[in-house]
């Protein structure tokens, strides 16, 4: 554990909100909206809505020219356009890497080579327990026109050297994709050897989707 003094409250204790229990107020096949009884560090209690979600798997490939395969798509909720990695919900009984490869093929038409774990992010942990598991490959094979072509306006290989400027310019508004691309930018363009250290994928195990 990090020894950072300002992580602790008065008396040397950690400042932590406690979930005393929760119940579901709405659910469907993708998510549950729960109402939690939360105790604050000073003893006060409050009701807090939260969203329990299925895990999401994401994937891209980076070619020899240090270009990442991305989708240019519109998000109707925020009415915004941006570059994103292929992504989707992990199905029951499906491994994380397996889901990431499936989503990349369905959304881009490219089958990734052996996948490596890049990172796991919690994009909205003040509201939901969503975890996005990001994978990447150093090769991909074009299979054909993407099955889910309605997901994006176009699919392109985008130079990693352009990533900081794209993010600064608002062209990668999704936090999960921005984090993944910045990591790949660092690994491929600035890390010794130009590649990430060996990292096994999830090995095909099934995540807890509860």
Averaged pLDDT, 34-61:
97
Sign of CA pseudo-dihedral 55, 60, 61, 65: negative
- pTM of the predicted model, to two decimals? 0.85
Averaged pLDDT, 85-92:
97
Instruction: Band the pLDDT of 205: cuts 50, 70, 90.
Output: very low
| 104/154 same-domain check | yes
The answer to whether position 208 is within a domain reads: no
| 73/165 same-domain check | yes
| Confidence at residue 192, expressed as pLDDT on a 0 to 100 scale | 75
| 61/159 same-domain check | yes
What is the span of the domain harbouring residue 186? Answer: 56-194
| Confidence at residue 193, expressed as pLDDT on a 0 to 100 scale | 63
Averaged pLDDT, 151-159:
97
Averaged pLDDT, 148-161:
97
The answer to whether position 209 is within a domain reads: no
| 101/181 same-domain check | yes
The answer to whether position 183 is within a domain reads: yes
| 43/110 same-domain check | no
The answer to whether position 207 is within a domain reads: no
| Count: domains in the chain | 2
pLDDT tens profile 119-139? 999 999 999 999 999 999 999
| pLDDT at 203 exceeding the cut of 90 | no
Q: How far is residue 6's CA from residue 159's CA, in Å, rounded to a whole number?
A: 39
CATH number of the domain residue 144 falls in: 3.90.79.10
The answer to whether position 210 is within a domain reads: no
High-pLDDT (> 90) share of the chain, %: 83
Q: Provide the mean pLDDT of the chain.
A: 90
Residue 94: both structure tokens together = 């499906």
| 31/101 same-domain check | no
């Amino acid at each position: 554990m990090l020894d950072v003094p300002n992580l602790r409250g008065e008396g040397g204790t950690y400042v932590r909100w406690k979930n005393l229990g929760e119940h579901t107020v709405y659910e469907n096949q993708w998510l549950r909206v729960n109402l939690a009884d939360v105790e604050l560090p000073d003893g006060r209690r409050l009701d807090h809505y939260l969203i329990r979600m299925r895990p999401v798997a994401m994937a891209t490939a980076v070619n020899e020219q240090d270009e990442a395969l991305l989708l240019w798509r519109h998000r109707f909720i925020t009415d915004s356009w941006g570059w994103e990695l292929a992504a989707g919900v992990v199905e029951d009984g499906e491994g994380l890497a397996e889901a990431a490869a499936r989503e990349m093929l369905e959304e881009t038409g490219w089958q990734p080579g052996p996948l490596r774990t890049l990172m796991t992010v919690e994009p909205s942990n003040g509201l939901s327990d969503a975890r996005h598991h990001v994978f990447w490959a150093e090769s991909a094979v074009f299979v054909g026109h993407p099955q889910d072509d309605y997901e994006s306006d176009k699919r392109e290989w985008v130079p990693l050297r352009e990533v900081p400027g794209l993010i600064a310019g608002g062209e990668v508004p999704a936090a999960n994709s921005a984090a993944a691309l910045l990591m790949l930018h660092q690994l491929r363009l600035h890390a010794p050897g130009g590649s990430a250290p060996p990292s096994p994928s999830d090995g095909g195990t099934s995540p807890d989707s509860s």
